[in-house]
Amino acid sequence: MKSIIIKSIIIIASIIGLYHYDLSLVFSKALTFTAGNITNYILIIPFLVGFVIYRERNILIALASRDKHLRLDLITGISLIAIAIFVYVVSSSTLYSMEYHIYTIPLFVGGSISILFSLKMIRHLIFVLILLIYLQPPPGELVAEVAADLSWLSASLTQYLLSSYMPIKLETSYGAPALVISQNGNDIPFYVGEPSSGIHSMLSLTLFGLLVAYLSRSVLWKRVSIFMIGLPLFFILNVFRISIILVIWYNFGYAASEAFHSVSGMIMVAIGTIALLLVGDKLLRTKIVISPSNSNKCILCDEHKELGERFCLFCGRLLSIAQFSSNDGIRIGLMIMIVISTIITQLYAIPIASAKEASITELDISTIEGPETVNYLLPQIEGWDLNYAYRDKRVESVLNQDAALAYRYNKDNQTRAIVYTAIQISTGRHTWEASMVIQPSRVGRPTAEIIELKDIDILDIKARFFVYKRPNSNLTEAVLYWFERLPLRFGTNYEERNVQIIIWSYVDTLYKNGLIDSNDVSKVEELYRSLALPIKEHWNKNINVVFERKISKELIEQAPLLTGLITIPSIIVSLYQYNNDNKEKRAVTKLYKRLSASDKELIDIINSLKVATTENILAEYKRLSKDMSEKELINKLSLAKDGGFVDDDIININGEAKMIWKSNIMRNM
């Protein structure tokens, strides 16, 4: 047991040594409880990991010191860890470093398990590795895109469900659908933005869907079916959640609806999990096993334990934990060397940021108010006055943004707003044409009239120029926007964010104020370009963070090739092991064909049984009216193992480790 504890401590220490900075960012963000935070579900992952390890403890202990393929275990483990460390170092030179770092954790943990324990143990901890992938939510761009689709579909279904009960209509506003309810002569909008789309709840609910699939003792396709059924189920539950919130508001007021809103997520989790359990039990006939079963001792357990056997040779039950071996020393020594190398690697992977004056990296995005950001985010342009306008908290809430700041560029000596410029900071990427045209069209809603939509070059990037008229409006609007990606400060930590820079105005306003000589959109494009160029130069010169990296550009360019080379040793050893195993099986199969019918009988019985414990083999002999005692059968199996005809293996039966017998005969020869 001491060996298992030491190995486990080494794995935990190595994870902390390499990933402590990234994990601190992940969990500090998960501890922020706001409506737009998608990562709160991460807090439950350590508890689920602990539950899985506890539930699989019997089979893990049984496999802990099994050294059947030591060479393959070590080479495969080294390859997995090498890939993880290499990707870690190379990705540190990108603006998505934390995301890549977190995604390498399952590789690093899998490699550590293979080195310190065995490759086979990874199979029983695969659910743990999947849980570790959940430490990093999907990319913000993907979440935003899926959330936009779900928002429109949810809003459309909600309107359909409630249209006969209350005066409700669906409109486009602020890039997200708005359910507008008429009450007492007033139109009150309810925005179904990213937080209300259900994408946040669905991520946490899919975690519980995975848990239900994991607890189900059944074939793989049934487990996958349970998980897949959960996706539409959770979406439908979210539609009903939105509908109930609106019904409560309509009948009982804002306070009552907010009270339900605050607990509706937990209610969804409870109902969705129970529904999945019922689907698995009643429809798919799966069996939910929460705690491992423990079989009783058989008549030979004590005798085999006294003989020093780890497993009862009759019932297959685990009797004792293996003691520290020389192979354990090799595994632990190798892993300690890797732990030291990971700590050294981290020194080369962490960026050192040096920012120029008036850098956005000096701003704490989590505490900014708005007016103090002017000189950091936008430049003073000759002939124009730059002023702070407002911070749009509603847009931030609807689109799940960290900040949505608006500024005014006015011509000299004018006080009226002519051209608005906005800075929106978020993990995702919200596009104007998606909210005005693409999303409404998908659900059969009126779309904006497109007058012009194209990309234009602004220094080293492509900016999107979009001229349109909203549904039921005669006003022409023109917008030019592009995205930047850079690390921003949130408290004491830096996190990568997308920054959307927007220039917007009404075409008629520009014409009436003499900024363009006609309503021709080409004139608007020229005006916007004249503003965009100095803004882009300002970002290039004064805001971008300069990283002093201790890694060469050539290494980054050769990353795919080097990653492939790292995997070659494990592939070669795997093929070598596979070839050797097949050679031995072919040789044994030739000998098997020469055996008498009575000698073949034992092997044929093992092949016919699903779980070939000695106890089950004896029961099959008795069914065939063959007289044989327990000790005679054990002796016969021992001889068959010495001859290479059969081998022992360890499997998981309802959470309990059992030793079984398997045949080495190739049936296709």
Q: Which is more confidently placed, 193 or 256? A: 256
Percent of the chain residues past pLDDT 90, beyond the cut:
9
- Cβ proximity of 80 and 107 under 8 Å: yes
Q: What are phi and psi of 592, to 5 degrees?
A: -60, -40
Task: Give tens-digit pLDDT for 364-412.
Answer: 888 888 898 888 889 888 888 888 999 988 888 777 788 999 999 988 6
User: Where exactly are the structural domains of the chain?
Assistant: 1-137+324-351+551-583, 139-292, 360-548, 584-663
What pLDDT is stored for residue 339 in this prediction? 74
Q: What's the whole-model pTM score?
A: 0.70
- Cβ proximity of 454 and 326 under 8 Å: no
What pLDDT is stored for residue 304 in this prediction? 83
Q: How many CB atoms lie within 10 A of CB 561?
A: 9
Q: What ranges in 595-613 are assigned the alpha helix state H?
A: 597-608
Judged by DSSP in three states, 193 sits in coil
Judged by DSSP in three states, 456 sits in strand
Q: Which of 482, 448, 450 is nearest to 466 (CA)?
A: 450
CATH number of 584-663: 1.10.10.10
Distance, in Å, from the CA atom of 653 to the CA atom of 642, rounded to the nearest integer, reads 26
pLDDT band at 322 (very low <50, low <70, confident <90, very high): low
Distance, in Å, from the CA atom of 107 to the CA atom of 84, rounded to the nearest integer, reads 6
Give the CA-trace dihedral at 159, 162, 168, 170, to 10 degrees.
0
Structure tokens at 274: 């129970």
Structure tokens at 131: 């849980």
Helical pair 105-116 and 2-30, crossing angle rounded to 10 deg? 170
Q: What ranges in 31-125 are assigned the alpha helix state H?
A: 45-55, 57-63, 70-91, 97-103, 105-116, 119-124
Judged by DSSP in three states, 410 sits in strand
- Cβ proximity of 518 and 511 under 8 Å: yes
**pLDDT surpasses 50 at 316:** yes
Task: Give tens-digit pLDDT for 263-285.
Answer: 777 787 788 878 888 887 777 77
Task: Give tens-digit pLDDT for 534-552.
Answer: 999 888 876 554 444 444 4
HSE on the CB side for 355, CA within 13 Å?
Answer: 18
Cα separation values, 129 from 105, 203, 385, 567, 636, Å: 8, 17, 55, 19, 40
Q: Which is more confidently placed, 561 or 128? A: 128
**pLDDT surpasses 70 at 77:** yes
- Cβ proximity of 10 and 116 under 8 Å: yes
**pLDDT surpasses 60 at 441:** yes
Beta strands in 230-297 (DSSP E): 287-288
242: CB partners within 8 A, 6+ apart: 154, 155, 158, 192, 196
Q: Of 87-96, 341-350, 534-543, which gets the smallest average pLDDT?
A: 341-350
Mean residue pLDDT of the chain comes to 80
Helical pair 45-55 and 126-133, crossing angle rounded to 10 deg? 180
What pLDDT is stored for residue 330 in this prediction? 75
Distance, in Å, from the CA atom of 131 to the CA atom of 55, rounded to the nearest integer, reads 15
Q: What are phi and psi of 237, to 5 degrees?
A: -60, -35
Give the CA-trace dihedral at 645, 648, 652, 655, to 10 degrees.
150
User: 510: which strand partners?
Assistant: none
pLDDT band at 503 (very low <50, low <70, confident <90, very high): very high
